[in-house]
């Protein structure tokens, strides 16, 4: 079945850039997502990218997709303490109607 993998932990200094990586196995994925989970809260969609794109930028967030290697990354520029959270990568086949397969999540710690 589908598998989505992420590293478990990333620590960066405030003001630096963070890069969170994700690999997936399903070559038929049509959408790839990044969700953010703050402590005690549900998941919040940050951004998504269609599989026919290789980059998407949204303010401080940049998503890069290497479809050949099935590798997705999320770059957060000028990381702030408020960015500390768990970030989930997810993939789906038909958008809203699909089962999303989530990665294990990467805990981002921002230090002063």
Partner 1 sequence: DAGVIQSPRHEVTEMGQEVTLRCKPISGHDYLFWYRQTMMRGLELLIYFNNNVPIDDSGMPEDRFSAKMPNASFSTLKIQPSEPRDSAVYFCASSPVGQETQYFGPGTRLLVL
* Residues of the shown chain interacting with partner 1 in the complex, contacts defined by CB under 8 A: 31, 33, 40-45, 48, 88, 95-97, 99-105
Min dist CB 112 to partner 1, Å, is 27
Whose Cβ is closer to partner 1: residue 14's or residue 67's? 67
Cα 50 to Cα 46: distance, rounded to the nearest angstrom: 14
Min. distance of Cβ 96 from partner 1 in angstroms?
A: 5
**Two tokens at 107?**
């805990």
Nearer to partner 1, 15 or 95 (CB): 95
Measure the CA angle with vertex 36, ends 35 and 39; round to 5°: 145
Q: Regarding beta strands 106-111 and 9-13, do their DSSP bridges make them parallel or antiparallel, or are they unpaired? A: parallel
Residue 1, burial from CB neighbour count under 10 angstroms (0-12, 13-18, 19+) = exposed
Residue 8 beta carbon to partner 1: minimum distance, rounded to whole angstroms? 10
């Amino acid at each position: 079945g589908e598998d989505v993998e992420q590293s478990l932990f990333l620590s960066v200094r405030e003001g630096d850039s963070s890069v969170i990586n994700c690999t997936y196995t399903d070559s038929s994925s049509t959408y790839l997502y990044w969700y953010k989970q703050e402590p005690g809260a549900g998941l919040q969609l940050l951004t998504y990218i269609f599989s026919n794109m290789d980059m998407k930028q949204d303010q401080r967030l940049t998503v890069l997709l290497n479809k050949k290697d099935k590798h997705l990354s999320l770059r957060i520029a000028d990381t702030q303490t408020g960015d500390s959270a768990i970030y989930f990568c997810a993939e789906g086949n038909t958008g809203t109607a699909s089962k999303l397969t989530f990665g294990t999540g990467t805990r981002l710690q921002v230090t002063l």
